[in-house]
Structure 1
C-alpha cells in the first residue's frame, strides 16, 4: 500500500514577542488615544471660548451703537427744547387772547342795524356799549352779547314806538326800548332821544376764537 502524505498547512508562526512588550504597546496606544481626546477637548473649549468672546464683542458694539444713537437723540431733543418752549408760550398766549377777545364786537354791523331802524331825518349821534360774557353755548343767539344805549338826534319829534318795533324785529336784537327828550330839553329846536338795545352774541366777531371752536361754528 502507498501512504498518503498529509497536505501542508503552511508555515507555522510563533509570536515570540514578550508579554511585557505587548502590554507596553497597548499602554502606549491607550495613552495616545487619551492625548488625542484631551487635545480635542482643548480645541473644542478654545472654540467655545472664542465664540463666546465674539458674541460678547458683537453685543458690546451693538450696545455702543445704540448708546451713540440715544445720545444723538438726546442732543437733538435738547436743541429743540427752545422751539418746544416757544410753541408752548405761543399756545398759552393764543389761549389767553381767545379768552380775552371772546366778546370782540363787529362794530359796523351793530351801528348799521340801529341806524337802519331810524327815520331818514334822524341821526345817530352817540352810543355807549357794555359787552356781555364769553360764549358759553353753541347757539350765540340765546346769550346776551351787548347792551347799548344809543343817542339819536332829530330836527322834528319822532314817534318812538315804530322805531322800537323796528329794532325788536332786527336779527340779533333781544330787547329794545326807548325814551324821548321833551322839547323843553331840546336845544336849538332839535329833539334828542335815547334808545336802549340789547343784542345777542351773534354780534361778536369771532375773529379770535380757537381753531376748534371756529371749526365747530363752520360745521354748524
Structure 2
C-alpha cells in the first residue's frame, strides 16, 4: 500500500502591512490608557463624592448639636429667674433661722412657773430677756430666757422651798429669790422677786435650719 500525503488545511497568508499592525497596536494601547484614565477619574470622583457626603453628614450633626445647645441655653436663661428666686428663698430662710431661732411660746413657760408656786401665790409680773440662737447640740446647756419674776402672796411663804420647786420644773435651769417688800394693809401684802433662767429646751424649733443645710 502506498502512503498518501496529508495536508493541515488551506494555507493562509497575512497580507496586512506591518505598519497597519503597528497602528492597530498603538490604537489598542491608547484605548487602554484612555480607559485607565477614565477609571482613575471615576474612582477619584467617587472618593470626592464620598468625602463630600461624610462632610455633609458631619455638618448636619454639628448643626443639630448647635441647635440643641442653643435650645439648652435658652432653657437655662428661662430658668435664671427660678435660680434667683431659689437663692432669695435660701437667704430669707437663713435670715429667718437667725431672727426666729429663739422662738418659743409664752404660755407653757408661764404655766411651768405657776405650777411651782404655793397655793395662793400669784405671778404678778416678770422681766425676761430671750437668749441667743441655739449653738450646741444640747439645749439644756444653753441659756434660753433669763430675768426676774415678781410674786405676790397674802401670806409669807417659804421662799427657799418655792425656789427649789421652780428648779424642778422643766426648762428652768436656775432660780433664786428674795423678799422685796411687805405690807399689812392690803391683800397680797408680801411681794417676792425671783431671778430665773430657762434653758433652750423651751424653744419651739419651728424655724431651725433643716439638717443637711437646707
* TM-score, normalised via structure 2 length: 0.92
1:17 is matched with 16
Q: Structure 1 residue 107 and structure 2 residue 106: aligned? A: yes
Give the secondary-structure state (helix, strand or coil) at the position aligned to 2:211: helix
Q: Deviations over 1:120-146 (max 9, x none)?
A: 211111111112222111111111211
1:218 is matched with none
Q: Structure 1 residue 188 and structure 2 residue 190: aligned? A: no
Q: Deviations over 1:105-162 (max 9, x none)?
A: 2211111111111112111111111122221111111112111211111111111111
2:44 is matched with 45
Q: Which runs of 5+ in 1 are unaligned?
A: 216-220
Kindly report which structure 2 residues correspond to 1:92-171, keeping only aligned pairs within 5 A, or say none: 92-171=91-170
Q: Deviations over 1:147-186 (max 9, x none)?
A: 12111111111111110010111222211100112325x7
Q: Write the distance in 2 (CA, Å) between the matches of 1:7 and 1:188.
A: 176
Q: How many pairs were matched up?
A: 213
Range with bigger deviation, 54-63 or 28-37? 54-63
**Residues 32 and 174 of structure 1, relative CA distance in 2, 3 Å threshold:** same
Q: How far is the alpha carbon of 1:213 from its aligned partner?
A: 7.5
Q: Deviations over 1:28-56 (max 9, x none)?
A: 11111111111111111111111111111
Q: How far is the alpha carbon of 1:188 from its aligned partner?
A: 2.5
Q: CA RMSD in A?
A: 1.9
Give the secondary-structure state (helix, strand or coil) at the position aligned to 1:80: helix
Give the secondary-structure state (helix, strand or coil) at the position aligned to 1:212: coil
Q: Which runs of 5+ in 2 are unaligned?
A: none
Give the secondary-structure state (helix, strand or coil) at the position aligned to 1:170: coil
Give the secondary-structure state (helix, strand or coil) at the position aligned to 2:52: helix
Kindly report which structure 2 residues correspond to 1:54-65, keeping only aligned pairs within 5 A, or say none: 54-65=53-64
* TM-score, normalised via structure 1 length: 0.90
